[in-house]
Structure 1
Amino acid sequence: MLEMGRRARAASRALGRKTPEDRTRGLKAVAAAIRETASTILDANAKDMDAAREKGLDAAMLDRLALNPERLEGIAASVETVADLGDPIGRELARWERPNGLEISRVAVPLGVIGIIYESRPNVTADAGSLCLRSGNAAILRCGSESTNSSRAIIDAMQGALMKEGLPEHAVQLVMTTDRAAVGHMLAGLEGNVDVIVPRGGRSLVERVQRDARVPVIGHLEGLCHVIVDKDADLDKAVSIVVNAKMRRTGICGSAETLLVDEAVADDMLPSIAAALMEAGCELRGDARARKIVPEMKEAVEADWSTEYLAPILAVAVVDDLDAALDHIGTWSSGHTECIITEDDAAAEKFFATVDSAILLHNASTQFADGGEFGMGAEIGIATGRIHARGPVGAEQLTTYKYVVRGSGQVRP
């Protein structure tokens, strides 16, 4: 692990000396290599899937782990999108001149070496690696044991492409051991050779990283996402958005977990929304007012308002008004993503001004909480903290800055 850290530090310095065009060329080569080795990667994923089923992993975990030709093409296309992004390194963020003639500028630079610890999503291997390459950072990746074969195959393709293009192969490395002690070494910073840790996975993983890390952490604990159906909501939009927000992919952090319906429209709208959800296979757990309107709902308990299901289960509450919905979100939200469905722009602006989550949407599904959908090509994760990065963490968010001061002989009196 220590040697891996040293190789990563050397690679980050070498990568920083490369031009934006060099990094773009390397990323294009990575995308091509993923396509060229698709059969190898899919064979490796099939082994992971067989082992995961034998271990009895739940449907959400299996969905995250699974690759198919379409998903693998999506991974390659995502790398290409990252390649086409503007290079974030060297951007002049600000410039000013002091009365003494000093010219000061603030310039974007890489973070350095980024450790990414994640569970069963092999796509993170390519997404994280490509975003780090685009932003001039080296990456040390530690995947969950469930995706070891898939991730190794993807890393082999990436490193081979980098070598062919004259870029440091150790700019992207995968921890090859499944021993959990490796995570502890990463969290300790590998003797100063890891600058930032990004956890991507379940609550227990993120809690451990936040508790034990001796270097800064970028990430989120949970995606407890809410959808408000306002009194001025359009019914057709409400049905479509709520079903998509919950059921498109239930195992992702942007999946809606709580539905809040304004009492003024609950009698008219909730039956249609509930019917569409149940037809799609969603279990509903409602408060007393919601169950009075839709008796088929199960009874919600307090724990349902604080549970990230990552499954086809949705908590439902009927609220007095928009203020009550905002209070509910203020009490229970994890600060990830929230949505309001309304035709009243004033209500939407109140929602935007009041709710303090990383991503807020008006008349759009919470499933858009994704770096690719934001035009970032990919993301390492969604950050819910308030320092450094917030929301989707793409290439630009993996930079810091330095000050460059140009003088003409000035000395300080």
Structure 2
Amino acid sequence: MFDVQKFYEDAEAGRRPDLNAFKEYVRGFENVIIWGAGNLGTALGKAFLGHGLNISVYWDMDYENIKLCNGIAVTEPFSGDHNKDNTLIVIGIVNGTLSHTWQKGVLESKGYYNYLFGMQTYEAIACKEEIGKPFDVRECVNTSICNFNTCKRYMNIVRNGREKTGLTVQVLEIILSSRCTLDCKYCGQQAGETKRRFPEKYRDYPAEDIKHSIDVVMDRLDAVGTFSIIGGEAFIHPKFAEILKHCLTKDNVAIISITTNGVCDMSEELLNEIKNDKIKINFSNYTDSLSDMQKKLFHENVERVKRAGIACNISTPIWVINTDELRDNPDFRDETLDNRKSACVFGPSIAGKYLYACPQTERQFRMEVHDVEDDIIDLNNEKGLTDRLRELLNKTHYTACQYLCSNMKTTRQIPPGEQWRDED
């Protein structure tokens, strides 16, 4: 019998699973449906067809516009008369931090219990990178199919052969500044709120502090999958290029990902200075909420980055808002918080001289919302730093786990990039 869990484990570990057993398993179903005709679903379909596996139909909410994917009909999700016991669903939708969790719940609620998670399936049958072979970072930097910030296969390949302290981080966030060129009403970093309530904290972190913090942390980590460079707006730091070049000196980090709103100065000279195969620029597209002048600058910057030959991605983020209010038990028993932290994709954050357990810890400390000091490390004090890092990274949950990200019952979707107005 085909062991689906072992198939996933091999994929995430960076190994190549038994493809013959996989193909025999898939061919045992009367119907094979790929749910999602976007980037991942399209890539999965090509991989299936390349392995001689038939696809019955695609499901996609945009079926009226897409019509065909890989030459196969695209229909409305859950349409058609399929024998559910003899139908295999391949989940080809990427949904950020929720991964395939919500699709799994929907499928089971409708009586479909035979399914494959698309990300792990793609890693297993199509990803070119694997343990024991030279790692080509360009494969991950240039992809529009999967997400290197959450890919376990990628992280296991990056850490392979580097074991020294046993400490690795998938994503290390490096905050260059709390300043921003926009004033988003629901900014996750609360840049505008920082400017209004704590103007002394609305600033760029000194480049020397940032570089020293990177040095002392990276000297104690075996590997980091991604440096996530953010702000505020990262590009407005006066020593942006200097900091980026310093990041590139670290051979135990694979990818340097820069998030930008695109409404800032990106000169061709600057872009040529930082151009590197390890760098990817991620444009957060808030243009529906911006002025015509801001939209023009955004699109000009996208074209400049493309002309410079730097890998880039343009996406419209899904923004949600919830509450900072701490709720009482039973929602916040240790077991609940432990589960929440283990499912969280966020890693630690460097801001100036300090390492914070996660982005929310940094934000809550800066905004003086909650007492999170037990989850912060002063990186100027290097005594016992490796042990303190280990203790922080191995905590089963953080104080911040009780706030903001947690009260999902009050979550609602909001327009990304909506700007503050004077009357607000």
- TM-score, structure 1 length as denominator? 0.30
> Which has the bigger relative contact order, CA under 8 A and spacing at least 6?
1
- TM-score, structure 2 length as denominator? 0.30
Q: Which has the higher helix share?
A: 1
